[in-house]
Chain A
Amino acid sequence: MKRSRWRVATEADVHLIVAESYKALEALGARPVQAAKFTTAVSELARNILKYADRGYIEFVELVEDNRVGMRAEVTDKGPGIADIELALADSYSSSGTLGLGLPGVRRLAHRFEIESEVGKGTRVLIEMWVR
């Protein structure tokens, strides 16, 4: 199983991760729409780290099962956490005046979406996308 872990602390980190994520999906044989969806989700989560938690990590794991392959991204930070996850997942809610479509959008883009957060401890989001 292939894994890679990336630090997210600057815009440049996000650029690198976005490019690598797209390449990794293509290497798995993903169609452009799958690569675009997964990478866009990764970009949303990485940017949320910069915006709300200052820094964190993204870990990619290639998923291989008998009859399908896919990619998982686990995005963690030790930032302020989210007090009301339901609210954060609602369309158009933003504590910073932006579109507020990141988390709900990521939830729609991914095949599997999990979020855990504790105020004062941090946030963990897991997404998966199956490509074939």
Chain B
Amino acid sequence: MSFTAMDLHSPDTASLLKVYGIGDAEIETLHAWKAHLEGGGFERVVADFYTWLQRQPEYEEFIDNPETERRLRRLQTTHLVSLVSGEFDDRYFSNRTRVGEVHARIGLPLHSYHGAMNHLCLCMLRQLPPDVDPLGATVTLLRVLHLDTALVALAYSRYANDRVAAQSKALLEMSTPVTEIWRGVLLLPIVGIIDSGRAQDIMTGALTKISSSRARVFIMDISGVAVVDTAVANYLIKVTRATRLMGCECIVSGVSPAIAETIVELGIDVGTIVTTGTLMQALVLAFDRVGLSVEQSGRAG
């Protein structure tokens, strides 16, 4: 699929500048800030900002030694210089994205970052250049800082999305354990959602295990699956066909009344697939196929 969730959130440079209303006039105003702040002004803004930052609860947690602070102050100064240089090119954009990732990774809450940018804005306004229209210059600064913060916020949400995707992928991969529960009998309990990727894992896992164990019966228990739509049913049918080709009978167990009724209404022909309502029924069938019978021993119950 060409269109992914992130495409919506990855606008290009030109359209972002347009949305935030940053054009030639704004860049000219930024250059006036730059001329005004050169020769000590940038350092004054950063010092002002850090006076505030040191009083914030996040300060001690995230800035744990003087060397870190010195490094961050240098970075902040460089960032301010680049902001008022008005060179909003790919390098600037990727730089902001990286800053966002760094902050997201250390777990700084987004509102803390945004709150700090809010204060930085005030520190900048305290150093307003003398010969500009104050309202115009303020609006320009807001536009630029908002754009700047938006890029960081985008990186935050991308980081969160990636992490969730990675976690759920890991979970899905863990959850297709085909186990030999008796000689010749394999069991795979399926819990959650079956999609094409997972169906492929199930197929591969089952066939590999059948071949290595020479199992005669493969039980797929779907009592943990809430929805069996036509795609899922199709996957299940394919797995049973493939296992049968390998000389192994497949039993689909845990077909709840709700799922049975839904499958019938969908019009799916389950053909010769052996299904049972409960795992216990499937076990009885399986033992029968491999020539075993289960009896009460008389000692218990």
Residues of A at the B interface (CB closer than 8 Å) are: 9-15, 18-19, 22, 31-33, 35-37, 39-40, 43-44, 47, 50, 54-55, 91, 98-99, 101-102, 104-105, 108-109
Are A99 and B258 neighbours in the complex by a CB distance under 8 Å?
no
B259 / chain A contacts, CB cutoff of 8 Å: 36
Known: A12-B168, A109-B266. A54 touches B3 (CB 8 A): yes
What CA separation (Å) do A35 and B262 show in the bound complex? Answer: 10
Q: Is the interface of B mostly helix, strand, loop or mixed?
A: helix
- B7 CB, nearest partner CB in chain A, Å: 8
- In the complex, besides A11-B195, A11-B196, A54-B3, 18 extra interface pairs with C-beta distance below 8 angstroms are A15-B193, A18-B193, A19-B193, A36-B256, A36-B259, A36-B262, A40-B227, A40-B228, A40-B266, A54-B1, A99-B230, A101-B230, A101-B266, A102-B229, A102-B230, A105-B268, A108-B265, A109-B265
B261 / chain A contacts, CB cutoff of 8 Å: 33, 36-37
A-B contact pairs, 5 of them (CB 8 A): A18-B226, A19-B193, A54-B2, A105-B266, A109-B265
Contact partner, A99, options B168, B226, B234, Cβ 8 Å? B234
Q: Mark B160-201, 1 if CB is under 8 A from A, else 0.
A: 000001001000000000000000000000000101110000
B257 / chain A contacts, CB cutoff of 8 Å: 32-33
A19 / chain B contacts, CB cutoff of 8 Å: 193, 226
Residues of B at the A interface (CB closer than 8 Å) are: 1-5, 8, 165, 168, 193, 195-197, 226-231, 233-234, 256-259, 261-262, 265-268
B231 / chain A contacts, CB cutoff of 8 Å: 47, 98-99
What CA separation (Å) do A105 and B3 show in the bound complex? Answer: 28
Contact partner, B4, options A9, A33, A104, A105, Cβ 8 Å? A9
What CA separation (Å) do A37 and B266 show in the bound complex? Answer: 9
Are B3 and A33 neighbours in the complex by a CB distance under 8 Å?
no
What CA separation (Å) do A105 and B268 show in the bound complex? Answer: 9
A108 / chain B contacts, CB cutoff of 8 Å: 265-267
Looking across the interface, which residue of chain A has its beta carbon closest to that of B4? A10
Are B5 and A13 neighbours in the complex by a CB distance under 8 Å?
yes
A9 / chain B contacts, CB cutoff of 8 Å: 3-5, 8
A36 / chain B contacts, CB cutoff of 8 Å: 226-227, 256, 258-259, 261-262
B226 / chain A contacts, CB cutoff of 8 Å: 18-19, 22, 36, 39
Are B1 and A40 neighbours in the complex by a CB distance under 8 Å?
no
Contact partner, A37, options B3, B256, B262, Cβ 8 Å? B262
What CA separation (Å) do A54 and B257 show in the bound complex? Answer: 33
What CA separation (Å) do A43 and B266 show in the bound complex? Answer: 12
In order of increasing CB-CB distance, the 9 nearest A-B pairs are A105-B266, A36-B258, A33-B258, A32-B258, A43-B229, A99-B230, A108-B265, A101-B230, A101-B267
What CA separation (Å) do A18 and B195 show in the bound complex? Answer: 12
Are B5 and A105 neighbours in the complex by a CB distance under 8 Å?
no
B258 / chain A contacts, CB cutoff of 8 Å: 31-33, 35-37
Max count, chain A CB within 10 A of own CB: residue among B195, B227, B233, B256: B227
- B247 CB, nearest partner CB in chain A, Å: 26
Max count, chain A CB within 10 A of own CB: residue among B2, B233, B234, B258: B258
Are A12 and B165 neighbours in the complex by a CB distance under 8 Å?
yes
Known: A44-B229, A98-B230. A91 touches B4 (CB 8 A): no
- A94 CB, nearest partner CB in chain B, Å: 10
What CA separation (Å) do A18 and B14 show in the bound complex? Answer: 37
Are B262 and A33 neighbours in the complex by a CB distance under 8 Å?
yes
Looking across the interface, which residue of chain A has its beta carbon closest to that of B233? A99
What CA separation (Å) do A22 and B192 show in the bound complex? Answer: 13
- A90 CB, nearest partner CB in chain B, Å: 11
Contact partner, A47, options B4, B8, B229, Cβ 8 Å? B229
What CA separation (Å) do A108 and B195 show in the bound complex? Answer: 23
Are A44 and B265 neighbours in the complex by a CB distance under 8 Å?
no
What CA separation (Å) do A50 and B259 show in the bound complex? Answer: 23
Are B165 and A105 neighbours in the complex by a CB distance under 8 Å?
no
B8 / chain A contacts, CB cutoff of 8 Å: 9
Are B227 and A104 neighbours in the complex by a CB distance under 8 Å?
no
